[in-house]
Amino acid sequence: MTQPLLQVENLRTYFLSRWGTVKAVDGVSFSVHPGETLGLVGESGCGKSVTCLSILRLVPQPAGKIVGGRVLWEGEDLLKKSEVEMRRIRGGCISMILQDPMTSLNPVFSIGDQVAEGIAIHRRLKGKTLWQKTAEVLGLVRISSAKARLRDYPHQFSGGMRQRVVGAISLACEPRLLIADEPTTSLDVTIQLQYLNLLKEIQRRSGVAMIFVTHDFGIVAKTCDRVAVMYAGRIVEIASVRDLFSRPAHPYTRALLDSIPNLEEQVDRLYSIEGQPPALHSLPPGCAFAPRCPYATRRCDHEYPPEVSLNSGHMALCWRVA
């Protein structure tokens, strides 16, 4: 195994609110290796997007603050970098595809201007060379007649094409790590499959590592090498895709997998996880999933479980496997 490209250690990001301190990310640790795709899954509000924004130090200010931990990029802590140094890393080394292309693209600037901006900043290109590179990047994500469409505006593109443009902006400077935050949410099934195949093809050619945030376990199975399952601001299980689907160790992971409808079975009622996730400003002292867990004991209510290594690369935090 090669050395990790990115290593997140005990990352904690909190938000101050009128109700108290919201622990959006509370002790998250994981690593990403060159050429690897790590899936980040969990219910809405569990901290996936805030984790990704924390890596790039884009947490909304002043309410949000990274209060602890380390984010090691090739051995150097990004949390200790100056803002000038972070601007070189964002886009140049680490890029992020945001959730909604409708709001990610500025409606008053042409597609060419928006794709070219990062190239001009990080690659110092200008003039004819800059526009040639911009058209080349749009061609990379299969925008037809790329040169002719440089002066078009976002409203002249379909939803799927806008999503490809957002991907082009992220890939324009050939980053070594791409963070994709639910990039297929606004796409229909056919376009979604094309977009995923495109990302995997680009990854095979360039060797870029990816963190893929999604709710869809079908996408996880098709796209990811390893999966980190988040709940209430913490990672509760990390495993290879094969291990996670065949031998889920945490009850929350098993419940998520059980929530996937099986088209070969006829049931009167689909499975759902009972209850609601806890409020992140008043987390219980024990396991946050205990109130919803069918296997919970009194110990689960009062003590948070330790990290347990089940085999090489498979980790879970649960008293059932401790």
**Residues 209-226: tens digit of each pLDDT:** 999 999 888 889 989 999
- E-strand ranges in the chain read 6-17, 20-32, 37-41, 64-73, 76-77, 94-97, 177-181, 209-213, 226-231, 234-240, 308-311, 314-316
First-to-last alpha carbon distance for the chain, in angstroms, is 26
Tens digits of per-residue pLDDT, 10-55? 999 999 988 889 999 999 999 999 999 999 999 988 999 999 999 9
Tens digits of per-residue pLDDT, 167-217? 899 988 989 999 999 888 767 777 788 888 888 988 998 899 999 999 888
Give the model's pLDDT for residue 185: 73
Give the mean model confidence (pLDDT) for residues 287-295.
93
Give the model's pLDDT for residue 41: 95
Give the mean model confidence (pLDDT) for residues 244-264.
90
Give the model's pLDDT for residue 58: 94
What DSSP letter does each residue of 86-137 carry, written as one string?
Answer: HHHHBTTTEEEE-S-HHHHS-TTS-HHHHHHHHHHHHH---HHHHHHHHHHH
CB atoms inside a 10 Å sphere around CB 52: 21
37-41 and 177-181 strand pairing: unpaired
pLDDT confidence tier of residue 85, bands split at 50, 70 and 90: very high
Give the model's pLDDT for residue 306: 92
- State pTM to two decimals: 0.91
Give the model's pLDDT for residue 64: 93
**Domains plus CATH for the chain?**
1-93+175-264 (3.40.50.300), 103-174 (no CATH)
pLDDT at residue 1 tops 70: no
Give the mean model confidence (pLDDT) for residues 264-284.
87
Give the mean model confidence (pLDDT) for residues 289-293.
94
Secondary structure class of 38 (helix, strand, coil): strand
Give the model's pLDDT for residue 84: 93
Please say whether the beta carbons of 30 and 179 come within 8 A: no
pLDDT confidence tier of residue 114, bands split at 50, 70 and 90: very high
pLDDT at residue 261 tops 80: yes
pLDDT confidence tier of residue 303, bands split at 50, 70 and 90: very high
Give the model's pLDDT for residue 158: 86
Q: At what angle do helices 159-171 and 189-206 cross, to 10 degrees?
A: 20
DSSP state of 200: H
Q: Dig out the tokens for 54 from the structure.
A: 């924390």
CA distance linking residue 322 with residue 313, whole number of Å: 16
